[in-house]
Chain A
Amino acid sequence: MMNQIVQGILLGGYYALIACGLSFMFSVMRIINLAHGSLAVLSAFALWLLASRFHIPPFYGLAIVLPLMAVIGWALQRFLLERSARGGALLPILTTFGLAIVIDNMLFEQFGADTRSLAPFIGSLSYDSWEWPGSIYVGKLAVIIFVAAVVLLGGLQLFLTRTGLGRSIRATSEDPDTAGLVGVDARRANAIAAAIAMVTVGLAGAFLGMRATFDPYAGATQLLFAFEAAVIGGAGSLWGTLIGGIVLALAQTLGAKIHPQGFLIGGHVAFLVVLFIRLYTSGLGLRGLLRLSTGKAS
């Protein structure tokens, strides 16, 4: 039991990793990117291609893929989201949904229906584990992912609160027009925020590929995980996302214990229960649940 809880918490690290880009983009641009999961899978496929075709191990491959994801994020904001956000709150949903369909099916066209994994390219890391007191075995990879999530969330938090660029992104998220008046280039801030979000997505995609298998249509599931973790974590700091991820993973673990097919059901039910409680105990439902107040100062 203790073992499962530990595994669940570590899995929560992965969910936090994939969720933080989604909630970051939402908190800055008020856009939920429905192509979020598909872009993570795209990154996983890119790493897989580098590893299998050009023999570049995934951890080195990140040096190529992450900058590429940043460029994708920047372009996404400049050419798609910025334009569609002008048409109201509903259009970006449709635009990014269309994008998700294009990415999924392009991947299918290119790579076929086979499920892939990056595990064969990371040597013994995929199965190595440490023994903790109480004969709990924890996978080294799971610990690395969890640590990466904590570092990333902490780094993002520091970046947003301590650097000028981070402050201008926060100012834009509060009120783009007023931010513009005091000399913040809102377009630039948004594009940079999108680029950062996509780097986290790329990293999440890499870990998805290392710890499990993926196929061209795996993006939808990842999007749902990211969304659920972000909403469960809710309106707190970025650390809320980590807690959201852990709660989601523990609920899935519990679900799997109750019924063989209960893993996903457990996660979805936990999400709905949290949503239900949140909606009926506060007025948050009308103001947006994903809203991250990144600056606690005010």
Chain B
Amino acid sequence: MSAASPTIERGTAASRIAGVGVLAIILLLAVSPQFLSAGAVDRMTTLFIYVILAAMWNALAGFGGLVSVGQQVFFGLGAYFAIRLANAGLNPFVSLFVSAVIVGAVSWPISLFMLRLKNGEFAIGMWVIAALTHLLVNLDRLIQGETGTSLISLNVYDASTRRLTIYWLALASMTALLAILFGLLRGSTGAAIRAIRDNEDAAASVGVRVTGTKRLLFVLAAFGIGVAGALWLATSITFQPKTYFNVQWTAYMIFMVLVGGIGTFEGAILGALLFFLIETWFGGTGVWYLIGLGATALVFSLLLPRGLWGTLEERFGWRLLSVGYRVKLPPGPSNPTGEIASPLQTTNSREKA
């Protein structure tokens, strides 16, 4: 009887191995500053920040169906509040995280308002919010307009302590944020989130709290991007509003998520990694690099809208960090291979997960 009925499984052998692998990678990353040069440690910190940005934008767009072109507002605010708090005498490292909490709190009232907008209106509406916030931050005397200011209180730590602390903070933030997102997506909220992603009206009709769930993702994304902005401030020390409130940040997020695979947990991480490598190799070519980024995003949105990971996942039924369920059909004459569910079935079950 049990052999004849399909079984529901959460992970696969691959995903269990991947789970162990992720732990090993995190441990390895935690000790790797021992072996890396100072420059490499800085680059790795940058990579962690990119992963945070990609994962948070993906949470909002890929899972919440909310494409925002104004996420730089939270990046800039993360840095700005950190400056403000540190200026008020709070320990600079502590202020990085208090700042992100404030960003999350600020995003709540914004969400009340913005989440009533749809698609493109939401996208540009957020951009207007970012532009307005940028102008208002410029009015702050402490910031001195576009001249900007610095997180001077960080200078009491010597360079290597600072570098290592920021590295570990970035690694810990990235791990924690990914873990929160993963937990959220695997839990009952995750089912709601994917239901909304696939069909908002249908989800609402079966009792999914659409707005509440979207708000949760919006605030989480704001908080996460706030962390990223504060960490970026810690690595670069200087705060110029123009740099932080630049729409370029959202362009990077979109690029990473589109190329990696929108709406897949692994895709955002893959996209961040690819973006990091592309930046390392071609970042020096200046404007052509940016043209290339824009063109790649354009081509992916037209030809490969599921991104690299989404396409691979669909084709080979790969599942590393599985957030959904899948149905495994019992071995039988109709399904001689038995062990591996066909990609089509996997996809179907994922949509319904």
Is B67 within 8 A of A90, CB to CB? yes
Neighbour of B117 across the interface among A90, A102, A106, A289, CB < 8 A: A289
Report the minimum CB–CB distance from A83 to chain B (whole Å). 6
**Among B287-295, B330-338, B343-351, the stretch in contact with A:** B287-295
Q: Which residues of B contact A150 (CB under 8 A)?
A: none
Is A91 within 8 A of B121, CB to CB? no
Contact mask for chain A residues 59-83; partner B; CB cutoff 8 A; 1 contact, 0 none: 0000000000000000000001001
Is B302 within 8 A of A227, CB to CB? no
Is A98 within 8 A of B290, CB to CB? no
Q: Which residues of B contact A191 (CB under 8 A)?
A: none
Q: How many residues of A contact B (CB 8 A)?
A: 48
Q: Which residues of B contact A91 (CB under 8 A)?
A: 301, 305
How far apart are the CA atoms of A170 and B119 in the complex, in Å?
22
Chain B residue at smallest Cβ distance from A88: B305
A256 at the binding interface (Cβ < 8 Å): no
Report the minimum CB–CB distance from B254 to chain A (whole Å). 6
Contact mask for chain A residues 154-193; partner B; CB cutoff 8 A; 1 contact, 0 none: 0000000000000000000000000000000000000000
Is B113 within 8 A of A93, CB to CB? no
Q: With A90-B67, A224-B127, A265-B136 as given contacts, are A285 and B294 in contact (CB-CB < 8 Å)? A: no
Is A109 within 8 A of B291, CB to CB? yes
How far apart are the CA atoms of A269 and B258 in the complex, in Å?
32
Is A102 within 8 A of B138, CB to CB? no
Contact mask for chain B residues 49-81; partner A; CB cutoff 8 A; 1 contact, 0 none: 000000000000100010101000000000000
Chain B residue at smallest Cβ distance from A221: B131
How far apart are the CA atoms of A93 and B65 in the complex, in Å?
12
Neighbour of B138 across the interface among A90, A95, A101, A261, CB < 8 A: A261
Q: Which residues of B contact A116 (CB under 8 A)?
A: none
Interface centre among B113, B121, B254, by most A CB within 10 Å? B121
Contact mask for chain A residues 244-269; partner B; CB cutoff 8 A; 1 contact, 0 none: 00000000000000010100110011
A31 at the binding interface (Cβ < 8 Å): yes
Q: With A34-B124, A224-B127 as given contacts, are A94 and B117 in contact (CB-CB < 8 Å)? A: no
In the assembled complex, 26 residue pairs joining A and B whose CB atoms fall closer than 8 Å, in A order, are: A32-B119, A32-B120, A87-B305, A91-B301, A91-B305, A93-B119, A94-B67, A94-B301, A95-B302, A97-B69, A98-B301, A99-B298, A102-B291, A105-B291, A109-B288, A223-B124, A259-B139, A261-B135, A261-B138, A265-B132, A272-B129, A279-B113, A286-B118, A288-B121, A289-B117, A290-B120
Beyond the given pairs A101-B291, A231-B121, 20 more chain A to chain B contacts, judged by CB atoms under 8 angstroms and listed by A's residue number, are: A84-B301, A84-B302, A87-B301, A89-B119, A89-B120, A91-B301, A92-B120, A98-B254, A98-B301, A101-B251, A101-B290, A101-B294, A105-B288, A224-B124, A224-B127, A227-B124, A261-B135, A264-B131, A272-B132, A279-B116
* Pairs of residues from A and B, 4 with the lowest C-beta to C-beta distance, nearest first: A101-B294, A32-B120, A98-B298, A98-B297
